[in-house]
Chain A
Amino acid sequence: MTVDLHEVSKRYAGGAGEVAALDGVSARFAEATFTAVMGPSGSGKSTLLHCAAGLEPPTSGTVTIAGTELSGLGETALTRLRRDRVGFVFQDFNLVSSLTAAQNVELPLRLAGRRAARSDVLAALSEVDLADRAGHRPRELSGGQQQRVAIARALFSRPDVLFADEPTGALDNRTSHQVLTLLRGLVDRHGRTVVMVTHDPVAAAVADRVVLLVDGRITDELTGVDAAGVADRMTALERTC
């Protein structure tokens, strides 16, 4: 499934006039591809992800998910589309604090009015190595564990496209590697689309393509590079800013 952004701009009302977070971004995330979005802080990476996932309406421009243009949809229809086709992993975990890990994982499905089999929930948790933490509440889990529960939740409804905002930001090397392998597998084995915002050149190197964002504009695209190549590129970029 493909996500298309056409001339997307997003401006926020700030203290002194408007602040442009995105400035005419056009991008295409094709089916069965893995894209990493990189850029300095405040370059609009998260906003790009939110707009592409339909979590936030752009100020101008269009976003199309699987042929459906989002601007024509009401809040409810938009929510349904997101629920059925889009998975999202937030920068800071965002688990519902009063629900257990298992309940958090099955939440989107329950919201869609379906029941989740206990075994499916456990299978999803064991995919992120947390089968034994199913009954724990977020406050009883470490940051990395919470992040993995959030990933399990995003994957549980088998979305066609997964957006992840710094999914490895709070993880150690081992779990980080685990999560990246999981995401890579989604693309290679299941033909899903993954878009990931990251600061980590190692994580970006797992992607098929790296999109560089500066001041709300796409300045460059890299394909087929390794971690060292990405790191060089980023260093060069930050020097020019």
Chain B
Amino acid sequence: MLNRDRIGTFVAVLLGTALITTFLVLLTSAQPRVPERLAGFPALVQAPAADNRPDEFAEPVPWSPETAQALLDRLSGVPGVTGVVADRSFYAQPVLDGRPVEDSTAGHAWRAGSPLVDGTGPAAGEVVADQPVGATITVLTGSGPETRRVSGRSEWPGIYLPESEAARLGPGVRVLGVAGTPDPEALRAAVGDSGVVLTGAERGRAEPQDDARVRWIGMQVLTATAAIAAFACLFLIASTSAYAVDQSRREIGLLRAVGATPRQVRSMLYRSALLLGARAAVVGVALGALAALPLASVLVDGGFEPHGYHVRWQWWVLAVAFAAGPLVALAGAVTAARRVTRIGPMEALRTAELEPRAMSRARWAMGLVAVGGAVTAGVAAAGAEDVRDLGTLALLGAMALIVAAVLLAPAVVPALIRVLLAPLSGITATLARESAGAAVRRTASTAAPILFTVAFAVFVTGTVRTSAAAFDAERVAAVPTGQVLVPDGTPGLHDGVAGRAPLDSTVYLDGSATVVIGSDEVTPGTALVSSAAAERLGEAVSVTFADGSTERLRVAGPAPDGPFMSDLVLSRDAVRQHDPSALAPAVYPAPDGPAGVGARKASPADMARRLDAEDDRLVATFTILLLAVSAGAGALAVANTLLMASRGRRRDLRVLRHSGATGWQVIRSVALESGLAVAIGSLLGGTAGLIAVAGSARSLGEQVGTHVPVLISWPVIAGTVLVCLLLAVGAAVLPALRLIRSPAATR
């Protein structure tokens, strides 16, 4: 019975459930994937996890060759086991047309019997890759480029070498594949505490930790975007529902007068909200499930999800998203329904043309609580120990600030109207001023979505730029002058170009992964330790290398400071011996002559830019995602404005026409009033956004120890405001145009 007034709520719930569905589907699709080469084994045995924080994504501690062999023997003896193989991964990157293939950096041992599109398994000096059989390709490894003949073509990612060569390049074993039909319990008994037995879907834990890290970044991005989206939708659903209930006050009053009890009216409103929510959710879930498909490829391209990520629709995800529709619609209607049924029937029947008070006591209270929340989040962000916590807290603070701005807006709207329209005179300005001023709450709620969009545009682009600026400053400061040899399309420099430059590697101290540097400045058998770690490590360190072997090294002195330094510096030869995949991050100063394959020369500033290019790309994708969500909120605002214009204004406009206003005057006053709402929303939103950005810039400044200037992307902000203005004025003027043209207006 209240359908006409509820189109706004319908659209809001529809978009809300669509967004919830999309993000839930994308989040739940991000599951670990069993690598293709291991998928054929019903059970995997993984080396013990490193004792690091989960967000450091350390690879498991490799077994020593003896432990691996002993495990292999024990497992082979378990009933039902038909074979056990050691899985090996190492750095091996094919070069095509002189360029390293950027997304193929892993080599593995070839297993006889694995599927091939063409050709045969590799013999010594040969390789299996996704290349034509018989072709000759260059493969980069830690020791430099080598030429190999393609013996077979496989569609699996990565390249595959014969076991003997793979064992040389990847001596460390972290996973054993178990074939046959063994009892997992028997396997566990055989493994004991030297590893973890994985079966079924948990075999996905054997994925490269880089994939896990990318997925984790994706989860952060998706969660932040989903939080903003959910916030926008809840906010809009609440305001459209309240508007719809207010619009049907007359009908509610009439029902009350002819004998409907408050409870009957409430349950009627709740029922229709539930029904409307369910209807909108059907469409929303379908749209959201489909929208996940293109977004999934955006996420993979953007580097927020690993290759091989694909959309999985799980029934419970769709069910949860569907249930959210009726529930949010109901939640949106509850407050408004309670308010309208608390008053008597005659009070409800009398449509209040003039609102008595713009700010209720509850609104003040909630607004001030939101301000308090924003301040608390800001203080917490400034003292945050981790940059990631800082980001979360800054986002929370911004949200609280926006809520506060929306709630407290009616308090300043009358003043803003007077100030903004002060330079204008004439009847259209007077009409717009009186109309907007007479219904402060209506003006405020028209301005609210615009406030929301502009505030987020300022916050998102502003924060991102301030963060990027901070890291730029830090990096450029750390790099000395002169030419530097840097990787070009590779994860690092191989010995063929790096010569004796220091290597990066990972070792395990007491089972905890630690980044080390292998430098010629260190004598074999000793280690240099940074002042920060000296006390913790003592006089000698027991180091487990990437190949699983452990050595005890004497601490010979303090590690030097420099741009590419770490807590622990070992001898370069020791690192190379134990980790054939170790690469050099850069060579400074760059040697004379051509750079060689997989490397190029750069100035320090250029290098800092290069380092940031990857960050910038991630940031750009993230910004686009967030702005898309904000634009969605803007579209909702249009629906909302259309709704406001469709009914409440019709009578006023007709009366205006009858009192002698020309069509043009009517249109001008309507457009002016919409523009006024956009101006109010932009001003308040811009202010809230700026405060939030300034706050996070301060917090960031305290973290990195330098002053971080506030940078705002004005073109983006201007564009956002312009789009809001076009949408809002268009949405208000179009129905008014129809109205003044229709014969009903002159009747």
Using a CB–CB cutoff of 8 Å, the interface residues on chain A facing chain B are 13, 50, 55-57, 75-76, 79-80, 82-83, 88, 90, 94, 96-99, 107-108, 111-112, 153, 157
With contacts A108-B258, A111-B255 taken as known, whether A56 is within 8 angstroms of B347 at the C-beta atoms is yes
Q: Which residues of B contact A76 (CB under 8 A)?
A: 261-263
A75 near B262: Cβ-Cβ < 8 Å: yes
Q: Within the assembled complex, what's the spacing in Å between the Cα atoms of A24 and B21? A: 62
Using a CB–CB cutoff of 8 Å, the interface residues on chain B facing chain A are 1, 3, 251, 254-264, 341, 344-347, 349, 356
Report the minimum CB–CB distance from B660 to chain A (whole Å): 26
Report the minimum CB–CB distance from A77 to chain B (whole Å): 9
Query: Could you jot down 13 A-B contacts, CB within 8 Å?
Result: A79-B261, A83-B259, A88-B257, A88-B258, A94-B257, A96-B251, A98-B1, A98-B3, A107-B255, A107-B258, A107-B259, A108-B259, A153-B258
Q: Which residues of A contact B262 (CB under 8 A)?
A: 75-76, 79
Report the minimum CB–CB distance from A27 to chain B (whole Å): 19
A82 near B254: Cβ-Cβ < 8 Å: no
Q: Which residues of A contact B345 (CB under 8 A)?
A: 55-56
Give the contacting residue for A112; candidates B256, B259, B347; CB below 8 A: B259
Majority secondary structure, A binding face: mixed
B261 near A80: Cβ-Cβ < 8 Å: yes
Q: Which residues of A contact B258 (CB under 8 A)?
A: 83, 88, 107-108, 111, 153
Q: Within the assembled complex, what's the spacing in Å between the Cα atoms of A162 and B305? A: 72
Q: Which residues of A contact B251 (CB under 8 A)?
A: 96-97
Report the minimum CB–CB distance from A65 to chain B (whole Å): 14
Report the minimum CB–CB distance from B266 to chain A (whole Å): 11
B256 near A79: Cβ-Cβ < 8 Å: yes
Q: Within the assembled complex, what's the spacing in Å between the Cα atoms of A97 and B2? A: 10
Report the minimum CB–CB distance from B5 to chain A (whole Å): 11
B1 near A79: Cβ-Cβ < 8 Å: no
With contacts A56-B347, A57-B344, A79-B262 taken as known, whether A90 is within 8 angstroms of B257 at the C-beta atoms is yes
Q: Within the assembled complex, what's the spacing in Å between the Cα atoms of A56 and B263? A: 18
Q: Which residue of A lies closest to B268 (CB)?
A: A111
Q: Within the assembled complex, what's the spacing in Å between the Cα atoms of A81 and B536? A: 83
Known: A55-B257, A76-B263. 15 other contacts (CB 8 A): A13-B356, A56-B345, A56-B347, A57-B344, A75-B261, A75-B341, A79-B262, A83-B258, A94-B254, A96-B255, A98-B1, A99-B1, A107-B258, A108-B258, A111-B258
Q: Within the assembled complex, what's the spacing in Å between the Cα atoms of A31 and B581? A: 104
Query: Which 6 residue pairs are nearest across A and B when measured between Cβ atoms?
Result: A83-B259, A108-B259, A56-B346, A79-B261, A76-B261, A111-B259
Q: Which residue of A lies closest to B344 (CB)?
A: A56
Q: Which residues of B contact A94 (CB under 8 A)?
A: 254, 257, 349
Q: Which residues of A contact B257 (CB under 8 A)?
A: 55, 82, 88, 90, 94
Report the minimum CB–CB distance from A235 to chain B (whole Å): 31
Q: Which residue of A lies closest to B263 (CB)?
A: A76
Q: Within the assembled complex, what's the spacing in Å between the Cα atoms of A80 and B346? A: 16
Report the minimum CB–CB distance from A104 to chain B (whole Å): 9
Q: Which residues of B contact A90 (CB under 8 A)?
A: 257
Q: Within the assembled complex, what's the spacing in Å between the Cα atoms of A172 and B347? A: 30
Q: Which residue of B lies closest to A82 (CB)?
A: B259
Report the minimum CB–CB distance from B562 to chain A (whole Å): 76
Q: Which residue of A lies closest to B356 (CB)?
A: A13
Report the minimum CB–CB distance from B6 to chain A (whole Å): 13
Q: Which residue of B lies closest to A57 (CB)?
A: B344
Q: Which residues of B contact A83 (CB under 8 A)?
A: 258-259
Give the contacting residue for B259; candidates A57, A79, A96; CB below 8 A: A79
Q: Which residues of B contact A111 (CB under 8 A)?
A: 255, 258-261, 264
Q: Which residues of B contact A112 (CB under 8 A)?
A: 259
A13, A98, A111 interface centre (most CB from chain B within 10 Å): A111
A55 near B260: Cβ-Cβ < 8 Å: no
Give the contacting residue for A96; candidates B3, B254, B261; CB below 8 A: B254
Q: Within the assembled complex, what's the spacing in Å between the Cα atoms of A180 and B334? A: 43
Report the minimum CB–CB distance from A195 to chain B (whole Å): 16
Q: Within the assembled complex, what's the spacing in Å between the Cα atoms of A97 and B247? A: 14
Report the minimum CB–CB distance from B89 to chain A (whole Å): 68
Q: Within the assembled complex, what's the spacing in Å between the Cα atoms of A107 and B345? A: 16
Q: Within the assembled complex, what's the spacing in Å between the Cα atoms of A50 and B348? A: 13
B254 near A79: Cβ-Cβ < 8 Å: no
Report the minimum CB–CB distance from B348 to chain A (whole Å): 10
Report the minimum CB–CB distance from B632 to chain A (whole Å): 32
Q: Which residues of B contact A88 (CB under 8 A)?
A: 257-258
B259 near A55: Cβ-Cβ < 8 Å: no
Report the minimum CB–CB distance from B534 to chain A (whole Å): 77
Q: Which residue of B lies closest to A150 (CB)?
A: B258
Q: Which residue of B lies closest to A13 (CB)?
A: B356
Q: Which residue of A lies closest to B341 (CB)?
A: A75
B251, B257, B262, B347 interface centre (most CB from chain A within 10 Å): B257
Q: Within the assembled complex, what's the spacing in Å between the Cα atoms of A176 and B255? A: 26
Q: Within the assembled complex, what's the spacing in Å between the Cα atoms of A55 and B343? A: 11
Q: Within the assembled complex, what's the spacing in Å between the Cα atoms of A12 and B349? A: 15
Q: Within the assembled complex, what's the spacing in Å between the Cα atoms of A37 and B263? A: 33
Q: Within the assembled complex, what's the spacing in Å between the Cα atoms of A179 and B519? A: 107
B1, B258, B347 interface centre (most CB from chain A within 10 Å): B258
Q: Within the assembled complex, what's the spacing in Å between the Cα atoms of A79 and B255? A: 10
Q: Which residues of B contact A96 (CB under 8 A)?
A: 1, 251, 254-255
Q: Which residue of A lies closest to B1 (CB)?
A: A98
Report the minimum CB–CB distance from B556 to chain A (whole Å): 87
Q: Within the assembled complex, what's the spacing in Å between the Cα atoms of A75 and B343? A: 9
Q: Which residue of A lies closest to B258 (CB)?
A: A108
Q: Which residues of A contact B254 (CB under 8 A)?
A: 94, 96
Q: Which residues of A contact B261 (CB under 8 A)?
A: 75-76, 79-80, 111
Report the minimum CB–CB distance from A190 to chain B (whole Å): 20
Q: Which residues of A contact B263 (CB under 8 A)?
A: 76
Q: Which residues of A contact B344 (CB under 8 A)?
A: 55-57, 75
Q: Which residues of A contact B356 (CB under 8 A)?
A: 13
Q: Within the assembled complex, what's the spacing in Å between the Cα atoms of A51 and B3? A: 32
Q: Which residues of A contact B256 (CB under 8 A)?
A: 79
Report the minimum CB–CB distance from B12 to chain A (whole Å): 22
Report the minimum CB–CB distance from B365 to chain A (whole Å): 23
Report the minimum CB–CB distance from A150 to chain B (whole Å): 9
Q: Which residues of B contact A80 (CB under 8 A)?
A: 259, 261
Report the minimum CB–CB distance from A212 to chain B (whole Å): 23
Q: Which residues of A contact B259 (CB under 8 A)?
A: 79-80, 82-83, 107-108, 111-112, 157
Q: Within the assembled complex, what's the spacing in Å between the Cα atoms of A130 and B438? A: 43
Q: Which residue of A lies closest to B253 (CB)?
A: A94
Q: Within the assembled complex, what's the spacing in Å between the Cα atoms of A111 and B345? A: 15
Q: Within the assembled complex, what's the spacing in Å between the Cα atoms of A107 and B257? A: 11
Q: Which residues of B contact A98 (CB under 8 A)?
A: 1, 3
Report the minimum CB–CB distance from B249 to chain A (whole Å): 13
Report the minimum CB–CB distance from A201 to chain B (whole Å): 27
Q: Within the assembled complex, what's the spacing in Å between the Cα atoms of A96 and B256? A: 12
Q: Within the assembled complex, what's the spacing in Å between the Cα atoms of A20 and B349? A: 20
Q: Which residues of B contact A13 (CB under 8 A)?
A: 356
Q: Which residues of B contact A97 (CB under 8 A)?
A: 251
Q: Within the assembled complex, what's the spacing in Å between the Cα atoms of A5 and B262? A: 25
B254, B261, B263, B349 interface centre (most CB from chain A within 10 Å): B261
Report the minimum CB–CB distance from B357 to chain A (whole Å): 11
Q: Within the assembled complex, what's the spacing in Å between the Cα atoms of A215 and B258? A: 28
Q: Which residue of B lies closest to A113 (CB)?
A: B264
B346 near A55: Cβ-Cβ < 8 Å: yes
B346 near A79: Cβ-Cβ < 8 Å: no
Q: Within the assembled complex, what's the spacing in Å between the Cα atoms of A99 and B2? A: 11
Q: Within the assembled complex, what's the spacing in Å between the Cα atoms of A210 and B575? A: 111
Report the minimum CB–CB distance from B345 to chain A (whole Å): 5
Q: Which residue of A lies closest to B259 (CB)?
A: A83
Q: Within the assembled complex, what's the spacing in Å between the Cα atoms of A99 and B341? A: 21
B1, B251, B341, B346 interface centre (most CB from chain A within 10 Å): B346
Q: Which residue of A lies closest to B347 (CB)?
A: A56
Q: Within the assembled complex, what's the spacing in Å between the Cα atoms of A112 and B345? A: 17
Q: Which residue of B lies closest to A94 (CB)?
A: B254
Q: Within the assembled complex, what's the spacing in Å between the Cα atoms of A91 and B234? A: 40
Report the minimum CB–CB distance from B281 to chain A (whole Å): 24
With contacts A96-B1, A96-B251, A96-B255 taken as known, whether A79 is within 8 angstroms of B347 at the C-beta atoms is no
